[in-house]
C-alpha cells in the first residue's frame, strides 16, 4: 500500500477508490515486462498518466517515450507519421523521414484513441507487434524496431471488431494486459479530495484564498454525473476559484457552476444496446430506425400499387371486381368506418338530419352509360402542324417580338427565323 501511495504522490494521482488502486496495482506489476497493455476508460480519466507510470517503472525508463493521438492524425498521413516515408513517395515528400517507431527504438510508444486508427494502419501495427518489422511508405526495405506499445481507448474495441471497424486479431494482441480506469462517478468518495487539490493549486497560482464547500455542496458535487471526469472537475474548480464571490460555497452558490445535463426531446427509437458510458445513444439505434422507415416506404408503395390495380379492374369490369374477396374486405372496412363516423355524428347533428345515406351502386344500370363509351376527338398529330401552331401562338402572345417568342419557345432567335421561312409565317 505504501508503494502505491508513493506512486500516487509522484504522479499526482489522488484517490483511494478500490477500482483505482486495482488499476494502479496492475500497472505496477506489468511495468517490468514488455507485454502490450490496453488501457480503457472514458475520456478525461487519466489514461496517459497510467502509460507514463508503466514507462517510468519499466527497464525502458531511460529510453524515449512518445504519446501519439491516433484520432488527431489524418488518415492519409498516419502511416507516414508512424512508420516514416521515403523521398518522393507521395506529394510533398521532399525528403526521407523517420517515423515514430523508428525514432523511439528501445523506448515506449503510447497510442491514444487506438479505435480511430484506419484498418490499413492496423494491419501494419499488427506486423510490428508480432515481428518487430515495418516498412517505410514508398520503400521496399524491411526494418526492425524494438518498441513497447501501450494503447488506450474510450470505446469497446471488441464490439467495434464485431462491426468490422477494428481488427479482431489486433485487439487480442493489444489486450495482453487490460487495465480499466474507473470513471469519476464510479469513485464518488474521491471527488472532494480532487476538488480540494485543484482549488489549492489554483489559489497558489492566482494568489487567492482556497474556496471551501459546505456539506450540502459537497454532496451535490459527489452526485453530479461528471461526463468529462477529472478534466471537467478541474475546469469547474478553476471557475469557482476565479469567479466565486464567497470562499464558503453552499449548494445554492455551487449550482450555477454545474451545467445541467442536456436533454434531447426529439423522438428516438429505444435501443437494446447500452451506451459506451458517454451518454450518447449507439448508432445501431439510428440504423434500426432507418430500416423501419425503409420498410414503411416499401409497404406504402405496395399498397398504392394494389389500389391502382383494383381501380383499373373496377373500371374495366365492375361486376368481376365486386365478387372478389379482397374488394369485399375493403368495402366491409369502409362500411364499418362509415357506421362508426355516423354514430359519432348523431350526437352533434339534429335528429332530422340523421338520415340514412343513399346507397352507392357499383354495378351500373343499363340506362346509365358505361365506361366503355368514349369520345373521339379529331385532332391532328402531325408534328410540323403542331410546331407551326406553337410558333404562331408565341408570336401572338409577344406581339411579334421574335426575341421574346424564341425565348418562350426555348429555341434560338436564328432557329425561329428559319422556322418562319420554312412554314411561311409572317409577323403577326
Specify the pLDDT at position 166: 95
Q: How many domains does the chain have?
A: 4
The answer as to whether 267 is a domain residue is: no
Residue 59, pLDDT above cutoff 90: yes
Helix H or strand E segment including 305:
helix 283-316
Residues 151 and 167 in one domain: yes
Residues 144 and 237 in one domain: no
Specify the pLDDT at position 265: 45
Q: How many CB atoms lie within 10 A of CB 194?
A: 19
Name the nearest CA neighbour of 125 among 159, 78, 160, 157.
78
The answer as to whether 367 is a domain residue is: no
* Residue 336 cell numbers, joined: 364499418
Residues 9 and 119 in one domain: yes
The answer as to whether 377 is a domain residue is: no
Q: How many CB atoms lie within 10 A of CB 197?
A: 16
For residues 285 and 273, what is the distance between their CA atoms, to the nearest angstrom?
A: 8
Residue 100, pLDDT above cutoff 50: yes
Residues 296 and 325 in one domain: yes
How many Cα atoms within 13 Å fall on the side-chain side of residue 20? 23
Residues 109 and 213 in one domain: no
Long-range contacts of 259-266 (CB under 8 A, 24+ apart): 261/225, 261/227
- State the CATH number of the domain containing residue 104: 3.40.50.300
The answer as to whether 403 is a domain residue is: yes
- State the CATH number of the domain containing residue 203: 1.10.8.60
Q: How many CB atoms lie within 10 A of CB 86?
A: 18
Confidence of residue 58 (pLDDT cuts 50, 70, 90): very high
On average, the pLDDT of the chain sits at: 81
Of 182, 213, 240, the one marking the end of a domain is 182
Q: How far is CA 162 from CA 167, 168, 169, in A?
A: 9, 8, 11
Residues 192 and 334 in one domain: no
Taking a C-beta distance cutoff of 8 angstroms, is the pair 58, 32 a contact? yes
Residues 133 and 41 in one domain: yes
For residues 409 and 387, what is the distance between their CA atoms, to the nearest angstrom?
A: 10
Residue 164, pLDDT above cutoff 70: yes
The answer as to whether 98 is a domain residue is: yes
Confidence of residue 149 (pLDDT cuts 50, 70, 90): very high
Specify the pLDDT at position 427: 64
pLDDT digits (tens, 9 = 90+) for 384-416: 778 888 888 888 888 888 888 888 888 888 888
Residue 223, pLDDT above cutoff 70: yes
The answer as to whether 265 is a domain residue is: no
pLDDT digits (tens, 9 = 90+) for 10-40: 998 999 999 999 999 999 999 999 999 999 9
Residues 170 and 191 in one domain: no
Residues 208 and 177 in one domain: no
Residue 45, pLDDT above cutoff 50: yes
For residues 54 and 373, what is the distance between their CA atoms, to the nearest angstrom?
A: 92
Specify the pLDDT at position 225: 92
Specify the pLDDT at position 288: 60
Residues 128 and 148 in one domain: yes
The residues, ordered by sequence, that sit 6+ positions from 45 with a Cβ below 8 Å of its Cβ are 181, 182, 183, 184, 229, 230
What pTM was computed for the model? 0.60
For residues 71 and 79, what is the distance between their CA atoms, to the nearest angstrom?
A: 13
Q: How many CB atoms lie within 10 A of CB 45?
A: 26
pLDDT digits (tens, 9 = 90+) for 264-323: 444 444 444 444 444 444 444 455 666 677 677 878 878 888 888 877 777 777 665 555
Of 125, 147, 182, the one marking the end of a domain is 182
For residues 196 and 203, what is the distance between their CA atoms, to the nearest angstrom?
A: 11
For 67, phi and psi rounded to 5 degrees? Answer: -110, 125
The answer as to whether 351 is a domain residue is: no
Task: Specify the higher pLDDT residue, 154 or 279.
Answer: 154
Residue 330, pLDDT above cutoff 70: no
Residues 388 and 328 in one domain: no
Residues 7 and 126 in one domain: yes
Q: How many CB atoms lie within 10 A of CB 50?
A: 24
**Which domain covers residue 406, as residue numbers?**
383-422
The answer as to whether 427 is a domain residue is: no
Of 182, 203, 238, the one marking the end of a domain is 182
Specify the pLDDT at position 4: 87
pLDDT digits (tens, 9 = 90+) for 181-221: 999 999 999 999 999 999 999 999 999 999 999 999 999 99
For 389, phi and psi rounded to 5 degrees? Answer: -65, -40
Q: How far is CA 9 from CA 143, 189, 199, 285, in A?
A: 40, 18, 17, 44
Specify the pLDDT at position 304: 84
Amino acid at each position: 500500500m505504501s508503494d502505491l501511495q508513493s506512486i500516487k504522490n509522484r504522479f499526482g494521482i489522488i484517490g483511494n477508490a478500490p477500482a483505482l488502486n486495482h488499476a494502479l496495482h496492475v500497472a505496477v506489476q506489468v511495468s517490468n515486462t514488455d507485454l502490450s497493455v490496453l488501457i480503457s476508460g472514458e475520456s478525461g480519466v487519466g489514461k496517459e498518466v497510467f502509460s507514463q507510470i508503466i514507462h517510468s517503472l519499466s527497464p525502458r525508463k531511460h529510453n524515449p517515450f512518445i504519446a501519439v493521438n491516433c484520432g488527431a492524425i489524418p488518415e492519409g498521413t498516419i502511416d507516414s507519421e508512424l512508420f516514416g516515408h521515403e523521398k518522393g513517395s507521395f506529394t510533398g515528400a521532399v525528403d526521407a523521414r523517420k517515423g515514430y517507431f523508428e525514432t523511439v527504438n528501445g523506448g515506449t510508444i503510447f497510442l491514444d484513441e487506438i479505435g480511430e486508427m484506419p484498418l490499413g494502419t492496423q494491419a501494419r501495427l499488427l506486423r510490428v507487434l508480432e515481428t518487430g518489422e515495418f516498412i517505410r511508405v514508398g520503400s521496399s526495405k524491411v526494418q526492425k524496431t524494438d518498441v513497447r506499445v501501450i494503447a488506450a481507448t474510450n470505446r469497446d474495441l471488441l464490439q467495434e471488431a464485431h462491426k468490422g471497424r477494428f481488427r479482431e486479431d489486433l485487439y487480442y494482441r493489444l489486450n495482453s494486459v487490460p487495465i480499466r480506469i474507473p470513471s469519476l462517478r464510479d469513485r464518488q468518495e474521491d471527488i472532494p479530495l480532487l476538488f480540494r487539490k485543484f482549488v489549492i493549486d489554483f489559489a497558489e497560482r492566482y494568489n487567492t484564498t482556497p474556496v471551501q464547500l459546505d456539506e450540502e455542496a459537497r454532496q451535490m458535487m459527489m452526485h453530479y454525473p461528471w461526463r468529462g471526469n477529472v478534466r471537467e472537475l478541474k475546469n469547474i474548480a478553476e471557475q469557482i476559484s476565479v469567479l466565486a464571490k464567497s470562499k464558503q460555497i453552499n449548494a445554492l452558490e455551487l449550482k450555477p457552476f454545474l451545467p445541467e445535463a442536456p436533454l434531447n426531446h426529439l423522438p428516438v427509437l429505444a435501443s437494446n444496446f447500452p451506451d459506451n458510458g458517454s451518454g450518447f445513444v449507439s448508432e445501431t439505434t439510428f440504423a434500426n430506425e432507418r430500416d423501419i422507415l425503409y420498410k414503411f416506404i416499401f409497404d406504402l408503395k405496395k399498397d398504392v400499387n394494389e389500389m391502382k390495380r383494383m381501380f383499373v379492374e373496377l373500371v374495366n369490369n365492375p361486376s368481376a371486381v365486386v365478387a372478389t374477396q379482397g374488394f369485399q374486405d375493403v368495402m366491409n372496412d369502409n362500411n364499418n368506418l362509415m357506421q362508426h363516423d355516423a354514430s359519432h355524428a348523431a350526437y352533434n347533428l339534429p335528429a332530422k338530419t340523421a338520415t340514412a345515406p343513399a346507397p352507392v351502386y357499383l354495378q351500373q344500370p343499363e340506362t346509365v352509360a358505361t365506361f366503355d363509351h368514349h369520345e373521339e376527338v379529331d385532332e391532328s398529330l402531325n408534328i410540323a402542324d403542331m410546331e407551326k401552331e406553337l410558333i404562331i401562338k408565341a408570336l401572338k402572345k409577344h406581339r411579334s417580338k421574335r426575341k421574346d417568342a424564341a425565348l418562350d419557345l426555348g429555341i434560338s432567335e436564328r432557329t425561329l427565323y428559319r422556322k418562319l421561312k420554312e412554314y411561311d409565317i409572317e409577323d403577326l
